[in-house]
């Protein structure tokens, strides 16, 4: 599969990516960075909108499809099949770690899956990265703090950076943590 992923990276072709032997869910996107163990793609929503960035371990992808009617639909609905500026910041030699660092620097929301668990493990903010350890602030679906989790960064098997869900959580977090002063909200 790694050879197919590398070819798609070179061609910058829009494709469907299936992970964890789940044939009911997939991501559509263009590969932004790849190495032997992990890759990141610019995702596109069902409405053709550019979404966030999704990263996987290469061995968790079991199927890739190209030139489908679904992809044609995405292309028709999209005003602009382009890559986000964040794509330029990704270190292809350490994709997961660089996305963690980008998220920490920008104070943006991530969702992380560990050890190929097909259920999302947690969503929130990177608080601290130290060697191979990460302290992560969990936020719930309502945008409130739900404690901390500590994990090894090399246990990450999937990461979603500011996709639809993460943007929704971020917006709720900001709304819940805004203080009104004078003429309007201040974070």
Span 14-70, pLDDT tens digits: 999 998 877 778 899 999 999 999 999 999 988 888 889 999 999 989 999 999 999
The residue that leads in pLDDT, 127 or 181, is 127
- Which pLDDT value is given to residue 160? 94
- Which pLDDT value is given to residue 186? 47
Mean pLDDT in the chain?
89
Span 115-124, pLDDT tens digits: 877 666 899 9
State the Cα–Cα distance between residues 15 and 170, nearest whole angstrom.
Answer: 27
- Which pLDDT value is given to residue 21? 75
- Band (pLDDT 50/70/90 cuts) for residue 81 is confident
Instruction: Tell me what percent of the residues of the chain surpass a pLDDT of 90.
Output: 74
State the Cα–Cα distance between residues 160 and 168, nearest whole angstrom.
Answer: 13
Span 154-171, pLDDT tens digits: 999 999 999 999 999 999
State the Cα–Cα distance between residues 67 and 102, nearest whole angstrom.
Answer: 32
Q: Is 132 helix (H, G, I), strand (E, B) or coil?
A: coil
Instruction: Tell me what percent of the residues of the chain surpass a pLDDT of 70.
Output: 94
DSSP H helix total and E strand total for the chain: 4, 12
Three-class SS string for 3-57?
A: HHHHHHHHHCCCEEEEECCCCCCCEEEEEEEECCCEEEEEEECCCCCEEEEEEEE
- Which pLDDT value is given to residue 79? 76
């Amino acid at each position: 599969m790694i050879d197919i992923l590398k070819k798609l990276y070179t061609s910058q072709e829009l494709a469907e990516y299936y992970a964890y032997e789940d044939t009911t869910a997939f991501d559509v996107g263009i590969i932004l960075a790849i190495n032997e163990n992990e890759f990141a793609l610019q995702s596109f929503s069902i409405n053709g909108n550019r979404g966030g960035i999704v990263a996987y371990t290469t061995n968790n992808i079991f199927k890739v499809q190209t030139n489908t009617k679904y992809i044609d639909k995405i292309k028709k609905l999209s005003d602009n099949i382009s890559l986000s500026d964040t794509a330029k910041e990704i270190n292809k030699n350490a994709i997961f770690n660089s996305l963690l660092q980008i998220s920490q620097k920008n104070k943006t929301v991530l969702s992380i899956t560990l050890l190929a668990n097909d259920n999302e493990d947690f969503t929130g903010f990177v608080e601290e990265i130290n060697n191979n350890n990460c302290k992560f602030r969990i936020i719930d679906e309502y945008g409130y703090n739900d404690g901390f989790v500590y994990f090894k960064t090399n246990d990450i098997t999937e990461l979603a950076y500011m996709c639809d869900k993460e943007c929704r959580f971020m917006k709720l977090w900001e709304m819940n943590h805004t203080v009104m002063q004078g003429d309007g909200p201040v974070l």
